[in-house]
């Protein structure tokens, strides 16, 4: 399977004519409503709630679950037709990403997940408190590839409880990176020898490197601290990206990164692209999640939440 289809919670739905993408972006909850208008999907409504805390950081408390539920309920009330598929985009730094290279792939999902948990816990003891999902990615150089993602179980339970209290039933819970990668998959697949995708939002940035079969092979994600609003961190991010790409390519002779793609809102796009162009010595490719979508009057793509937009634009 070439796409990332890991879902931390899923429920079957009939083919919808509308959808809500809901992102947890730092202390912000952002909902984007898309609706099929004739033959074109349109972004019709955007709503936002601010929380007095940052989900998926620290240990969840009962009062935080209550505040999250109230914010979700207000968001649901602000949307048109609330009985819709709701696709959550979770913050990437809340997850551990790893691609395991195995002699052979375990035969069952239970065995794959058990092996993934064992390997994660061996390297990171904190993984014992995380919920783990896996996806086979095929073979490379005679080795079976297994994508592993793990997210703090306490926070997932907190979010699920908040959704129940708010009367919401999520159809998908996935990381923001997965929604964005799936949304851009066809475009990224044009880079036949492998490439890199940088997704940057006000609260976090994530770098994904893929191989010549458009399979994820490496992910690194980081929170952006609030101080970055006043002190730009674009050059520091560009330095990290350059270092990570070089280390990835040098680790194996068959690895190649022939293109660097960047997906960002307007505030970060130009300054970060300039820093990357200078350091990488080749222009990076700026990508839009809005291709094929229309936008209602007053809704501007360049300022929208990437995770919420990608989640709302995906049809599952």
DSSP string, 144-188: EEEEEEEEEHHHHHHHHHHHHHHT---SEEEEHHHHHHHHHHHHH
User: What is the per-residue pLDDT for 110?
Assistant: 94
For residue 259, pLDDT beyond 50: yes
Instruction: Give the pair of three-digit tokens for residue 79.
Output: 């949307």
What's the pLDDT band for 39 if we cut at 50, 70, 90? confident
Q: Are strands 130-140 and 143-152 parallel, antiparallel or unpaired?
A: antiparallel
What's the pLDDT band for 7 if we cut at 50, 70, 90? very low
Query: CB–CB of 113/134 below 8 Å?
Result: yes
What's the pLDDT band for 282 if we cut at 50, 70, 90? confident
For residue 241, pLDDT beyond 50: yes
User: What is the per-residue pLDDT for 79?
Assistant: 63
Query: CB–CB of 62/44 below 8 Å?
Result: no
Model confidence over 64-106: pLDDT tens digits? 999 999 999 999 876 655 578 899 999 999 999 999 999 999 9
pLDDT average, residue stretch 23-33:
96
What's the pLDDT band for 111 if we cut at 50, 70, 90? very high
For residue 10, pLDDT beyond 50: no
Chain mean pLDDT for the chain: 89
User: First-to-last CA distance in the chain?
Assistant: 15
pLDDT average, residue stretch 298-311:
93
Give me the sign of the Cα torsion angle 62, 65, 66, 67. Answer: positive
Residues in contact with 268: Cβ distance below 8 Å, sequence separation at least 6, in sequence order: 200, 201, 202, 234
DSSP E strands in 211-302: the ranges are 216-223, 260-264, 285-286, 293-295
Q: Are strands 28-37 and 18-25 parallel, antiparallel or unpaired?
A: antiparallel
Residues in contact with 87: Cβ distance below 8 Å, sequence separation at least 6, in sequence order: 19, 20, 21, 22, 170, 171, 172, 174, 179, 311, 312, 314, 316
What are the residue boundaries of the structural domains of the chain, listed by start? 18-92+152-177+293-313
pLDDT average, residue stretch 280-306:
91
Chain centroid, CA 224 distance in Å: 15
pLDDT average, residue stretch 270-288:
92
User: What is the per-residue pLDDT for 2?
Assistant: 38
What's the pLDDT band for 225 if we cut at 50, 70, 90? confident
Model confidence over 125-179: pLDDT tens digits? 888 899 999 999 999 989 999 999 999 999 999 999 999 999 999 999 999 999 9
What's the pLDDT band for 13 if we cut at 50, 70, 90? very low
User: What is the per-residue pLDDT for 230?
Assistant: 60
pLDDT average, residue stretch 182-186:
94
- 40 by DSSP, 3-state: which? strand
For residue 26, pLDDT beyond 90: yes
Domain 18-92+152-177+293-313, CATH: 3.30.420.40
What's the pLDDT band for 213 if we cut at 50, 70, 90? very high
User: What is the per-residue pLDDT for 29?
Assistant: 97
């Amino acid at each position: 399977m070439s796409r990332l289809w890991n879902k931390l919670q899923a429920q079957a739905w009939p083919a919808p004519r509308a959808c809500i993408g809901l992102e947890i972006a730092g202390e912000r909850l952002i909902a984007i409503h898309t609706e099929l208008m004739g033959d074109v999907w349109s972004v019709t409504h955007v709503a936002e709630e601010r929380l007095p805390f940052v989900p998926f950081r620290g240990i969840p408390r009962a009062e935080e679950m209550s505040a999250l539920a109230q914010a979700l309920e207000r968001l649901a009330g602000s949307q048109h037709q609330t009985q819709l598929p709701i696709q959550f985009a979770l913050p990437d730094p809340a997850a551990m990403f790893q691609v395991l290279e195995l002699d052979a792939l375990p035969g069952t999902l239970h065995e794959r997940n058990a092996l993934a948990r064992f390997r994660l816990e061996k390297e990171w003891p904190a993984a014992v408190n995380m919920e783990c999902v896996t996806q086979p990615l095929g073979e490379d150089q005679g080795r079976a590839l297994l994508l592993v993602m793990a997210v703090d179980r306490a926070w997932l339970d907190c979010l699920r409880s908040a959704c129940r209290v708010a009367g919401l039933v999520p159809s998908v819970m996935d990381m923001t990176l997965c929604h964005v990668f799936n949304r851009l998959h066809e475009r990224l697949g044009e880079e036949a020898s492998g490439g890199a995708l940088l997704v940057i939002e006000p609260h976090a940035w994530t770098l994904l490197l893929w191989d010549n079969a458009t399979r994820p092979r490496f992910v690194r994600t980081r929170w952006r601290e609030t101080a970055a609003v006043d002190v730009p961190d674009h050059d520091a991010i560009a330095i990290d990206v350059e270092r990570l790409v070089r280390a990835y390519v040098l680790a194996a002779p068959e690895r190649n990164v022939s293109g660097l793609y960047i997906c960002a809102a307007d505030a970060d796009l130009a300054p970060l692209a300039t820093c990357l162009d200078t350091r990488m010595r080749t222009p990076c490719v700026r990508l839009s999640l809005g291709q094929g979508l229309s936008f209602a009057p007053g809704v501007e793509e360049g300022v929208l939440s990437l995770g919420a937009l990608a989640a709302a634009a995906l049809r599952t």
